């Protein structure tokens, strides 16, 4: 389906917020019309999102994330996640025909919710797929604990979570680090218990060998058999990326000593986690599952931005035993966007622009996107990180805003490259297809 681009090109040419909260005249973003047209016609593969089940299951669905972010202490929200973000109005209008600019008062929000409820009821099980259609997305990778009603192949492909497998011992010590981690480790315990149970066990086995075989590999194989195309790590919320490479015997000793109970020594426990991460990444390579890693300054007031410097992952990417594993750096690693570009030279490393396309306006994002595309255009993937960020921005609004901002950023980057004589328009069209569709299709072997 061709996007309703004529109207959108006008509506999304750029918003300026005038005094009083109304929209001023659009600003011309100067995207080459031929490139703009090409981009508008592409049904994208969304590399990363958190769609919620179709109504009525959506009301109680909590499996859209292993670590839902709505239970954290307040942070300073970026502009795009505030209730007065101008593009919310464009998304509400496109999705639900609701024509009131943000911010909404209680009555406005009630009106919007009534319109949402009507569309949801009309579409029923097809509601999630309908959202994809509105956002120009053909296939969405659903990063969820489990798939479910209305979230199913072929429009949705599964990406489950692997973090719980990294932390099999008593996590009280790790949970004490910050209030956020206290919440997160409690949630991970639920996922880990689920994985143990689904593996046919009641408790974690007594030895590392058995844990690897009967829980870790069993879980990854079960995910693969259930249609998973990748495993997602939110480990950035739980610890830093500095994974060392301890021998298996060392990890086995730590596991055996504390699996029965007691608080593990922090340094020893880290060695076990480090070993487990490499083991899981190796198994993912064997099973043809990509490894997705959250790389971006994260949500929550205690997130360690220093701990997610993607250069900390370089030893993994350079480990010859892991060359069969495809690593995808989600959210493009902002603020480390240049480090990400350099890492894309590794044959098994990719990056997506999910979430960046919500948080940053197109021209800002086009800056580093252009640099990536000039460097290695075949390693950059489109994504949205469509997530229920707030009452104003549910996952449908987030998908819509990300898709349209990403297309504009891509249009600006490619227009600049053509204008400077780096590529011609035909190549610009090819790169647009690579980013929005073909790179993901090749990586996940969807054809
Ligand atoms: Zn996400």
pLDDT digits (tens, 9 = 90+) for 403-413: 999 999 999 99
For ligand 1, the distance from its centroid to the CA atom of residue 22, given in whole angstroms, is 31
For ligand 1, the distance from its centroid to the CA atom of residue 49, given in whole angstroms, is 6
For ligand 1, the distance from its centroid to the CA atom of residue 234, given in whole angstroms, is 8
Residue 67 has a pLDDT of 84
Confidence of residue 145 (pLDDT cuts 50, 70, 90): very high
For ligand 1, the distance from its centroid to the CA atom of residue 47, given in whole angstroms, is 10
For ligand 1, the distance from its centroid to the CA atom of residue 398, given in whole angstroms, is 11
Residue 353 has a pLDDT of 98
For ligand 1, the distance from its centroid to the CA atom of residue 385, given in whole angstroms, is 5
For ligand 1, the distance from its centroid to the CA atom of residue 1, given in whole angstroms, is 26
- Say yes or no to pLDDT of 6 above 90: no
Whole-number CA gyration radius for the chain:
22
**Peptide bond connecting 19 to the previous residue in cis, omega within 30 degrees of 0:** no
For ligand 1, the distance from its centroid to the CA atom of residue 304, given in whole angstroms, is 17
Q: What is the DSSP string of 404-422?
A: HHHHHHHHHHHHHHHHTTS
Indicate left, alpha or beta for 92 from its phi (over 0: left) and psi (-120 to 50: alpha).
alpha
Give the C-alpha separation, 2 to 8, whole Å: 12
Residue 12 has a pLDDT of 41
The DSSP code for 434 is I
For ligand 1, the distance from its centroid to the CA atom of residue 230, given in whole angstroms, is 13
For ligand 1, the distance from its centroid to the CA atom of residue 331, given in whole angstroms, is 8
For ligand 1, the distance from its centroid to the CA atom of residue 424, given in whole angstroms, is 34
Q: Are 31 and 417 in contact (CB under 8 A)?
A: no
For the chain, percent of residues with pLDDT exceeding 70: 94
For ligand 1, the distance from its centroid to the CA atom of residue 79, given in whole angstroms, is 18
Residue 225 has a pLDDT of 98
pLDDT in tens, 230-278: 999 999 999 999 999 999 999 999 999 999 999 999 999 999 999 999 9
- Say yes or no to pLDDT of 128 above 70: yes
pTM of the model: 0.93
For ligand 1, the distance from its centroid to the CA atom of residue 439, given in whole angstroms, is 19
For ligand 1, the distance from its centroid to the CA atom of residue 48, given in whole angstroms, is 6
For ligand 1, the distance from its centroid to the CA atom of residue 357, given in whole angstroms, is 13
pLDDT in tens, 51-100: 999 999 999 999 998 888 777 788 899 999 999 999 999 999 999 999 99
- Say yes or no to pLDDT of 223 above 50: yes
For ligand 1, the distance from its centroid to the CA atom of residue 64, given in whole angstroms, is 9
Going by C-alpha positions, the residue among 409, 424, 395 that lies closest to residue 156 is 395
Q: Are 325 and 281 in contact (CB under 8 A)?
A: yes
Residue 345 has a pLDDT of 97
For ligand 1, the distance from its centroid to the CA atom of residue 163, given in whole angstroms, is 14
pLDDT in tens, 385-443: 999 999 999 999 999 999 999 999 999 999 999 999 999 999 999 999 999 999 999 99
For ligand 1, the distance from its centroid to the CA atom of residue 14, given in whole angstroms, is 26
For ligand 1, the distance from its centroid to the CA atom of residue 158, given in whole angstroms, is 13
Give the C-alpha separation, 320 to 274, whole Å: 17
For ligand 1, the distance from its centroid to the CA atom of residue 294, given in whole angstroms, is 7
Residue 27 has a pLDDT of 58
Q: Could you give the angle at which helices 106-123 and 87-96 cross, rounded to 10 degrees?
A: 40
Counting Cα atoms < 13 Å in the Cβ hemisphere of 305 gives 7
For ligand 1, the distance from its centroid to the CA atom of residue 238, given in whole angstroms, is 15
Residue 266: Cβ-neighbour burial (10 angstroms; 0-12, 13-18, 19+): exposed
For ligand 1, the distance from its centroid to the CA atom of residue 383, given in whole angstroms, is 10
Please give the average per-residue pLDDT across 168-183, as a whole number: 94
**Mean predicted lDDT score pLDDT of the chain:** 93
Residues with CB under 5 A from ligand 1 (ion): 385
pLDDT in tens, 149-158: 999 999 999 9
For ligand 1, the distance from its centroid to the CA atom of residue 51, given in whole angstroms, is 10
Give the C-alpha separation, 396 to 390, whole Å: 11
Residue 222 has a pLDDT of 98
């Amino acid at each position: 389906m061709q996007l309703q681009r004529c109207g959108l090109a006008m509506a999304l040419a750029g918003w300026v917020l005038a005094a009083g909260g109304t929209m001023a005249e659009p600003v011309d973003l100067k995207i080459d019309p031929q490139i703009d047209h090409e981009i508008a016609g592409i049904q994208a593969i969304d590399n990363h999102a958190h769609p919620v089940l179709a109504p009525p299951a959506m009301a109680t669905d909590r499996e859209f994330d292993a670590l839902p972010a709505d239970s954290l202490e307040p942070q300073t929200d970026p502009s795009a996640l505030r209730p007065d973000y101008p593009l919310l109005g464009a998304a509400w209008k496109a999705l639900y025909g609701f024509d009131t600019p943000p911010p909404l008062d209680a009555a406005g929000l009630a009106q919007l919710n009534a319109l949402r409820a009507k569309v949801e009821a009309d579409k029923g099980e097809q509601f999630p797929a309908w959202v994809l259609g509105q956002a120009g997305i053909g296939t969405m990778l659903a990063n969820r604990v489990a798939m479910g009603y209305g979230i199913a192949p072929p429009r949705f492909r599964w990406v489950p979570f692997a973090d719980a497998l990294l932390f099999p011992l008593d996590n009280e010590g790790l949970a004490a680090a910050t209030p956020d981690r206290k919440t997160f480790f409690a949630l991970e315990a639920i996922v880990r218990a689920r994985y143990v149970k689904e593996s046919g066990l009641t408790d974690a086995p007594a030895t590392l060998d058995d844990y690897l075989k009967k829980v870790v590999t069993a879980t990854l194989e079960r995910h693969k058999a259930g249609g998973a195309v990748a495993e997602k790590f939110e480990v950035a919320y739980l610890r830093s990326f500095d994974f060392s490479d301890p021998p298996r015997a060392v990890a086995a000793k730590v596991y055996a000593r504390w699996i029965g109970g007691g608080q593990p020594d922090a340094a020893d426990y880290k060695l076990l986690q480090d070993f487990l991460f490499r083991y899981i990444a190796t198994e993912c390579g064997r099973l043809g599952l990509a490894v997705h890693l959250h790389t971006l300054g994260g949500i929550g007031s205690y997130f360690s931005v220093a701990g997610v410097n993607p250069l900390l992952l370089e030893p993994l990417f350079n480990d010859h035993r892991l060359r069969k594993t495809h690593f995808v750096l989600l959210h493009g690693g902002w603020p480390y966007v240049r480090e990400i570009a350099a890492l894309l030279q590794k044959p098994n490393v990719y990056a997506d622009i999910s979430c960046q396309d919500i948080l940053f306006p197109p021209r800002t994002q086009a800056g580093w996107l252009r640099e990536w595309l000039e460097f290695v255009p075949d390693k950059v993937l489109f994504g949205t990180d469509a997530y229920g960020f707030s009452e104003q921005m549910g996952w449908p609004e987030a998908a819509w805003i990300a898709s349209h901002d990403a297309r504009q950023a891509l249009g600006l980057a490619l227009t600049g490259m053509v204008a400077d004589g780096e590529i011609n328009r035909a190549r610009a069209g090819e790169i647009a297809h690579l980013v929005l569709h073909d790179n993901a299709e090749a990586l996940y072997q969807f054809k």
